[in-house]
Amino acid sequence: MGFLKLSLKNIARNRTRNLITLTSILIAVGVLFSVVSYDRGFSRSLEREMRRTGVHVTVVPTGCPHEAATLLLHGGVVPDRLDRKTVEGIKDHVSDQAEGYYPMLLAQAHDPRRDRLDLVYGMPGDGMADIKPQWQFSAGAFPENEEEIVIGRSVAARDGLRVGDSVAYRTNTGLPADAGHPEVGRPDTVGKDTPGADTPDMVTGYAEQPPRADDADSVRTFRIAGILRTTGTQDDDAVFVPLSVTRAILGDAEGITALGIRLEHPGAATRVIRDIERSFAGVQAVTADDLLETVAGVVQSARVLSFSMVILVAVVSGSGVLNAVLMTVFERTREIGTMRSLGASRLDIFRLTMNEALVLTFIGGAAGIVLANLGAPVIESFVRGFLPYVPEGRNIVFDPLVALGSLIFSMVIGVLAGLYPAWRASGITPIEAIRN
């Protein structure tokens, strides 16, 4: 028989009282475990969700109001451009955190055949799926080469366009993005190759060669590779083309409208934004989704609230343990004195008593973790009810480290609650026990 067995036998003697104590520990540790698990799971899910949106930070020139900047992702028109030097500077600056760069260039382009002025959205051809991972196609798919484009649902509906149809744009007119109607192009240049149609370099986002000045007024045709489903955003009214095409349309080989940055850790978006805005004049940066920012704030306050609750429950259950163990010490004064007379040292008695507190908190803690796990779905649906936004899927995922941490927390309660009773018990002299 060891110290532990002796303590266990003592605990078994006061079943009801210890069961109540266990329950309060169970609640404290269960709540702690749930809160930490949920917090971690939530952050992970949020990060995962943010990773699905390919671009976490968008840098645009200042001058456009903040709202316009967020609109950009959905196809707003921004007058100014970021020059090459600034863009390279930013890339250099965030190279530690960035996973990919997506230069974007907006233009208005004239299709002489339909006589339409389209909002054309240029982005690296092979980066399109990264920038717009949420896209769904009603027909077709992402472009596979520099001659293919994607069009929004409204554009397709308005002009009766289908996958495989072609669209023609006048290139190299020198028309700025915010200019009015372009001149009517000459039809004899249709289909002429433009050097600007080269595959854009994913790293720099620039065409290898700038379009030549004498290509002015040429017209190029593009095949519609995909038509989007209705998105409810400005994407419905836009045309998406390889970056080289907007360069050709604008006759601009340098500037971009916006630089999208994909981060290794999307959670760091706010920090990256602050950093960029501090270091570069004339630019402003926004996150891909302000909602996620808001959610992070709500989660933060929920976290503070939950942890205060955990501390409160821990104090209550800790006093419960203290009280339960202290009572057994008083009840067993005689037994403790007998053990001292049989040769038990003060430390032995201290240990026996402390063991009781630790066994209670260990069992209570372990049970709390198990129950919190079993009850995770209930907790999830409960939290879904009062948080404005909760990522899809299971957010509470069993993490052995969190479980271990919760158990240690429980044992710390045990140590703190056991100190006083153990000290009292170890002070019992053999005489006072035997005399009575």
* Closest C-alpha to 336, from 327, 349, 325, 347: 349
Q: Token match 């006061």: residue?
A: 14
Shortest Å distance, C-beta 369 to other proteins: 29
* Closest C-alpha to 240, from 78, 141, 143, 121: 121
CB under 8 A: which stretch of 21-29, 238-246, 397-405, 423-431 binds other proteins? 423-431
Contact 262, 54 (CB under 8 A): yes
User: Cα 315 to chain center, whole Å?
Assistant: 33
x/- binding map, residues 331-370, to other proteins, per CB under 8 A?
---xx--xxxxxxxxx-x----------------------
Shortest Å distance, C-beta 339 to other proteins: 7
Contact 5, 355 (CB under 8 A): no
CB under 8 A: which stretch of 247-255, 272-280, 293-301, 426-434 binds other proteins? 426-434
Shortest Å distance, C-beta 310 to other proteins: 34
Restricted to residues 7-36, the positions that interact with other proteins (CB under 8 A) are 9-10, 12-13
| Alpha carbon separation from 327 to 6, 316, 354 (Å, rounded) | 17, 17, 13
* Closest C-alpha to 30, from 396, 418, 416, 415: 396
> Is the Cβ of residue 276 or residue 358 nearer to other proteins in the bound state?
358
Task: Decide: is 423 part of the binding site for other proteins (CB under 8 A).
Answer: no
Phi, psi dihedrals of residue 197, rounded to the nearest 5°: -80, 5
CB under 8 A: which stretch of 189-197, 210-218, 322-330, 424-432 binds other proteins? 424-432
Give CA–CA dist 34/318, Å, rounded. 19
| Alpha carbon separation from 81 to 128, 259, 282 (Å, rounded) | 20, 10, 10
Q: Using CB under 8 A, which of 311, 312, 374, 431 touches other proteins?
A: 431
Shortest Å distance, C-beta 332 to other proteins: 9
Give CA–CA dist 393/350, Å, rounded. 48
CB under 8 A: which stretch of 3-11, 52-60, 259-267, 402-410 binds other proteins? 3-11
Shortest Å distance, C-beta 1 to other proteins: 5
Contact 136, 144 (CB under 8 A): no
Pairing of strands 218-228, 148-151: parallel
Restricted to residues 281-340, the positions that interact with other proteins (CB under 8 A) are 334-335, 338-340
CB under 8 A: which stretch of 6-14, 23-31, 130-138, 141-149 binds other proteins? 6-14
Total of chain residues touching other proteins, rule CB under 8 A: 24
Shortest Å distance, C-beta 427 to other proteins: 11
Shortest Å distance, C-beta 298 to other proteins: 52
Residues of this chain that bind other proteins (CB under 8 A):
1-3, 6, 9-10, 12-13, 334-335, 338-346, 348, 429-431, 434
